[in-house]
Homo-oligomer: A and B are copies of this chain.
Amino acid sequence: MSLENPDKKGCPPEGKTSQPLNPELVGVEFKKGARPAEAIVRVRRPRAFKRIAPGYFVARPEEIKPETELGRITQRVKRFFIGAPLATSDEGHQRLTKFKALAIFGSDPISSSAYASEAAMAILLVAGSAALGISFYLAVAVSALLMMVAFSYRQTVHAYPHGGGTYTVSSENLGRMPGLIGAAALLVDYILTVAVSIVAGSRAITSALIVAGHENLVNSFPPVFNLVVILSLIFIAIMTLGNLRGIRESGTIFAAPAYFFVASMVIMLGTGIYLALKGNLHAAELPPPVVSTQPLTLWLILRAFSAGAVAMSGTEAISNGVPAFKSPESKNAATTLTIMAFLLGAFYLGISFLATHMGLVPGEETIISQIALAVFGHNIIYYIFQLATIAILVVAGNTAFADFPRLSSILARDDYMPHQFQFRGDRLAFNTGIVFLGTIAAVLVVIFRGNVDSLINLYAIGVFLAFTLTNSGMVVHWRRLRSPGWKRSLIINAIGATATSIILIVAVLTKFASGGWIIVVLIPLIVMGLLRIHRHYQNIARQLRVVPEMPPEPMTNQLVVVLIESVNYASLRAFSFARTINAERVVLHVATSPERTEKLREKMAQYAPDFKLVIIESPTRSFVEPLMAYIDAVHSQSPAAFITMVMPEFITAHFWERFLHNRTANHLHREFEKHPNVTVVMVPYLLQR
């Protein structure tokens, strides 16, 4: 181009005129007041789209292949671990059968039977071995409470077919704050469940290894990443990946261990009770009787009751997960809930019965192991049973993986948690919640170096807080609705609310000093956080909502500033881009060397005479500060002026070459990121090899 060409406004010549855009791809033009026009020229379709209507396409994910080799490998790895993407319309096919749902939602409560009766007995033991006699009656009471809770949740499941966890029920019936308190308690509990149950499983494995004489192997790991931590992290990773594959596949993956435990338990308890009734069941080795150190007070019994009642943790899961069931959702969920409660109650009662029958005392060996030894003898079946116990402990964490993401997605929907928790990944799972849960649990495991006993204390408070809130909420619900039979339901829930609130008080009082205070402090903090997020989203929604009477703030792109160091093909490209913007156009050069500036001035007159030139001499060689001062100067005189800064940016062929370029551009991007009236546009320039 030359200066003699007056009709091209000083633009450099361009080699060829570029091809016109395909009108079909460009979309639909609005006719004033009318719906989009339908007549559009039909041309060859882009491969990855199905054209439904003019300007309306459906992306066909199977056609979208990454372009780079790295992209293809990444995709293949992702597909291998997570599976191919599922369409939103596939949701119905992703629902759970009762069989899988029991495995997913039941693992946590059912696994508690492995330790809950023992926990109650351990507390009674301070009143001496003789006091253990009442543990069977305590088990009856716990089972009764369990039935009550299960019954209450059955009602909830029917009343809230779209999922009625503590959060929903409390929010709707008791108000926002009780709902959030319940949600916070459950969020914490779910995280603890994953950490505690997976660590318990991993420790059972290392204990078995030590018993089998592999002590050296176990001790050969460094203390920070000991075998328990490593196994736990592996299990957490497997569980995270399994759940990212979608709730249905996670049901398939984790059903085996759950049913393996149920079957083992049924066989053991059945055989045990049969032998006991025949009088043929005796403990392998009875420990010496323990002498009482405290009298058997009501307080002690309440404490034991509260410890045993922890078995109910996770009962909530089903009521939250109703939408995950195959249709009819509520009915299937209620049935699954009943089966789960029945199994848990039966196991709890059975264990307590056999333990009191044989006069077992909790000690170094677990009660459940003592029973298995008495029933099966010291043989392969005993070890298989132990294996089943380990398996269910590990898999119990999976219940939280089904529940946490669901609860957080509901909270995100209601603007109480970041919206990304609502996003469903390739497999329709709530990816953010799953990854978040896995990460936090992994961090807890690493921080506590696999020694999470102290965390178990934190559980119970959250569980009973949630139960109390749900039951109270249901009481209000019945009073409001007065549907047929409401009085009976109300009474059941009122008794439930009273019982669970008493246990809650007992749990807070007994566990406060040994870590319970953390929960008492944590829940209000989480609630505050949830409220903070809510306020933010609400505030923004209010600000963004377009009110026809309130015109938007005026915004005109008044000044385009092209930043260049010298005139080269990359800057010519930036000029071309800037020319397409209707605004005052300026080339700005921060000058540090007079020769370079002079050269630039000459070349500018030759290649970009249609731009105005601003030169800022920077005596201290700084680049960003003078530029910011210039922008400030413009805004000090025209506060509303919108400024577009245009910079050429190099696209390099090799990764390492990036470190040789674009340093200033990146710096600039960061500096102006928070400026409301400035945007930085990088005009890419592809460097050949």
Contact = CB atoms under 8 A, between A and B. Distances in A.
Interface in A605-640: 605, 607, 609-622, 625-626, 628-630, 632-634, 636-640
B629 A586 contact: no
A382 B286 CA distance: 79
A267 interface: no
B688 A684 contact: no
A9 to B, nearest CB: 11
Contact of A17 (B27, B554, B603): B554
Interface in A516-562: 533, 536-537, 539-540, 543-546, 551-559
Interface string A667-689: 00000011111110111111111
Contacts of A590: 59
Interface stretch (A178-186, A242-250, A400-408, A572-580): A572-580
A418 interface: yes
Interface in A34-62: 35-36, 43-44, 46-49, 52, 55-59, 61
Interface stretch (A111-119, A383-391, A655-663): A655-663
Interface string A635-666: 01111111010000011000001011001000
Interface stretch (A84-92, A441-449, A505-513): A84-92
B681 A676 contact: no
Contacts of A44: 637
A577 B679 CA distance: 10
Contact of A32 (B3, B683, B684): B3
Q: Give this chain's copy count.
A: 2
Given A553-B573, A674-B651, A26 B614 contact: yes
Interface stretch (A143-151, A349-357, A563-571): A563-571
A612 B546 contact: no
Nearest to A636: B46
A412 to B, nearest CB: 10
A569 B542 CA distance: 10
Interface in A406-424: 418-420, 423-424
B687 A679 contact: no
A80 interface: no
A584 interface: yes
Contacts of A21: 558-559, 584, 634, 637-638, 641
Contacts of A682: 679
Contacts of A642: 577
A278 interface: no
A456 interface: no
A143 to B, nearest CB: 44
B552 A638 contact: no
Contact of A1 (B551, B569, B587, B626): B551
Contact of A683 (B615, B633, B679, B689): B679
Nearest to A67: B632
Interface residues of A, number: 144
A15 interface: yes
A619 B657 CA distance: 38
B604 A30 contact: yes
Contacts of A674: 651, 684
A30 B546 contact: no
Given A616-B59, A660-B533, A580 B577 contact: no
Nearest to A615: B56
B61 A633 contact: no
Nearest to A592: B88
A612 B26 contact: yes
A484 interface: no
A32 B586 CA distance: 16
A559 B683 CA distance: 14
A15 B619 contact: no
Contacts of A215: none
A30 B555 contact: no
A617 B57 contact: yes
Contacts of A626: 48, 57, 59, 64
A582 B584 contact: no
A87 B26 CA distance: 53
Interface of A: 1, 3, 10, 12-22, 25-30, 32-33, 35-36, 43-44, 46-49, 52, 55-59, 61, 63-64, 85-89, 418-420, 423-426, 533, 536-537, 539-540, 543-546, 551-559, 567-570, 572-573, 576-577, 580-584, 586-588, 590, 592, 601, 603-605, 607, 609-622, 625-626, 628-630, 632-634, 636-642, 644, 650-651, 657, 659-660, 663, 673-679, 681-689
9 contacts: A14-B551, A14-B555, A18-B638, A30-B613, A46-B630, A48-B632, A61-B618, A555-B577, A675-B684
Given A30-B612, A420-B663, A679-B682, 13 more contacts: A12-B551, A16-B554, A18-B641, A28-B614, A30-B605, A43-B637, A47-B633, A57-B630, A64-B626, A87-B620, A644-B681, A651-B673, A679-B684
